[in-house]
Amino acid sequence: MANKEWMLGTRGQKWLKGLHVTLVASSIGAILSVLVLLFLKQNFEAPENLFLIDLGIFYLFKFLEYSFYGIILTGLVYSLFTKWGFFKHNWITVKWVSVLLLFVFTWIWIGPVTTGLVALADGGFRLPGTLSEYLDYSSKGRLYSLIECVVFVFILFISVLKPWGKRKSKSRVKRKVVLAIVVPLVVIMIAFLVLNLLTMQKFRRIEIQDIDVSTLKDGTYYGEATIGGFTYKLEASLREQRIVDLKIIANRKSAYARFAEGVIPRVLEAQNANVDTITGATTSKALLKAVENALQSLPEIKQ
């Protein structure tokens, strides 16, 4: 028999279960909201309206992402320190498999779609081909969100009805073995989450200075910025004391990096490197820093 000191008491189980259910309900509400917004925004055409909706979807996804961490952690504690375990009941095993698959599905498919939508809308579809990409992402987003809603309903269904009964096998996985596997994984997951948050905050705090281009001579200026281990490079062309062109020479080869190039038309419009950037924090900030460095580095005018 398991040592009782390793088991949660009745009150602890109630609090943990309440927290777990709250996280699940919040996640269902978030993905349903994403699905509704994805369908509703088909009635809007103005880029600024689409951006606001996609920004809401983006933050709902971020909430969903963090909720998943909470769901997994509370589920782990509940399985380890109560009588339910991981494999004693078939429905619990199916639930765990479904939750983990849902987490992977959210991370790999829904995450890139929501980020891509808000990044493309943020750029105002001013770059070639971005509108068709946006429509493709919207279509995928509706499909992926619908699939996620169905899986969530399935998980909720088996959690309430607890079908299929107990496993017939008498073999049991010892708690010490599970702890030896689970604890390092949880520590790695938390460390990854914290590191990711700190890194993003570092990028968001990068300061971009205002530069008065009317004080600069006409010419082609070269600038670069190294952020996240990659050096972003571009050329800024000035004519009649205005930025007339910004040519990206080196950018990361990824969809996110390409979406972040939507910040370039914003710089041309504002005639300043210090413009707002909400999405694509790493690449957008790096490109803006490269613009700033180009406009400040007069000795590096490219012949």
Q: At residue 19, does pLDDT exceed 90?
A: yes
Q: How many CA atoms lie within 13 A of 26 on its CB side?
A: 18
Instruction: Give yes or no: residues 8 and 151 share one domain.
Output: yes
The 10s digit of each residue's pLDDT in 153-165 is 999 899 888 888 7
User: Who has greater pLDDT, 33 or 4?
Assistant: 33
For residue 299, what pLDDT band results from cuts at 50, 70 and 90? very low
How many domains is the chain partitioned into structurally?
Answer: 2
pLDDT at res. 142: 93
Give the CATH number of the domain where residue 272 resides.
3.90.1010.20
pLDDT at res. 303: 43
For residue 281, what pLDDT band results from cuts at 50, 70 and 90? low
* CA 246 – CA 82 distance, rounded (Å): 61
Which tokens hold the place of 291? 């613009």
Backbone angles phi, psi at 224, to 5 degrees: -145, 160
pLDDT at res. 32: 93
pLDDT at res. 298: 61
Per-residue pLDDT, averaged over 55-66, amounts to 89
Q: Is the pTM of this model over 0.95?
A: no
Note whether residue 196 is domain-resident.
Answer: no
Please choose, from the candidates 255, 247, 242, 241, the residue with its C-alpha nearest in 3D space to the C-alpha of residue 283. Answer: 255
Q: Choose the weakest-confidence range: 148-157, 203-212, 291-300.
A: 291-300
Q: What is the DSSP letter of 217?
A: P
Strand partners for 222? 235
* Residue that is last in its domain, among 166, 199, 232: 166
Close Cβ partners of 158 (under 8 Å, ≥ 6 residues apart)? 91, 94, 95
* Segments forming the whole domain that contains residue 27: 4-166
Q: At residue 248, does pLDDT exceed 50?
A: yes
* CA 141 – CA 261 distance, rounded (Å): 22
What percentage of the chain has pLDDT greater than the value 90?
A: 23
